[in-house]
Amino acid sequence: MDLNNVLRGLSISASGLLAERVRMGLIATNLAHAHDTNRGDGTPYKRQLAVFETVLDGEMRGGVRVAEIVDDTKTPHLEKYQPGHRHADSSGMVKMPNINPTFEMVDLMTAARAYEANLQAAQMSVRMAEQALELAR
């Protein structure tokens, strides 16, 4: 019996757990910066996204990993009229981060569900490995 084959499902689920943990961390960071109008370079905070990729070779074949973390350039920044704000332009408009807290919470719930699904799959892999070892006795 090859233990590597028995535990392959656990490895795949673990990769999903790690990737979703990174995604949830980015969502938390986005929510924390939802009102940051200046990152230090005069521009508002940009929403960050995790880009996942499938692992098709090597020891973790069939798993997933975070390929990169990118700024969301597709979602436009909103502008609010706040003439007293320290980052307001001459017309009183403040460029706000491109973060919608409602969308972030939906993404967080989706990531949490995916995390739970990977955790259940990992637990099932452990149970199957235990049963296989029990049968081999």
Measured CA distances, 16 to 57, 61, 121, 125 (Å): 16, 12, 10, 14
Q: How many CB atoms lie within 10 A of CB 108?
A: 17
Residue 67 covered by a domain: yes
Instruction: Count structural domains, the chain.
Output: 1
Residue 66 covered by a domain: yes
pTM for the predicted model, two decimal places: 0.84
Q: What is the mean pLDDT of the chain?
A: 90
User: Residue 105 and residue 93: Cα distance in Å, rounded?
Assistant: 27
Hey, which residues does 71 pair with through a beta bridge?
48
Residue 137 covered by a domain: no
Longest dimension (CA), the chain: 79
pLDDT tier for residue 1 given thresholds of 50, 70 and 90: very low
Residue 44 covered by a domain: yes
Domain of residue 125, residue span: 3-132
Residue 40 covered by a domain: yes
Residue 93 covered by a domain: yes
pLDDT at 131: 85
Measured CA distances, 137 to 5, 68, 125, 132, 134 (Å): 18, 45, 19, 9, 6
pLDDT for 28-65, tens place per residue? Answer: 999 999 999 988 888 899 999 999 999 887 666 788 99
pLDDT at 59: 64
Residue 76 covered by a domain: yes
pLDDT for 84-130, tens place per residue? Answer: 998 999 999 999 999 999 999 999 999 999 999 999 998 988 888 88
Residue 20 covered by a domain: yes
Hey, which residues does 68 pair with through a beta bridge?
51
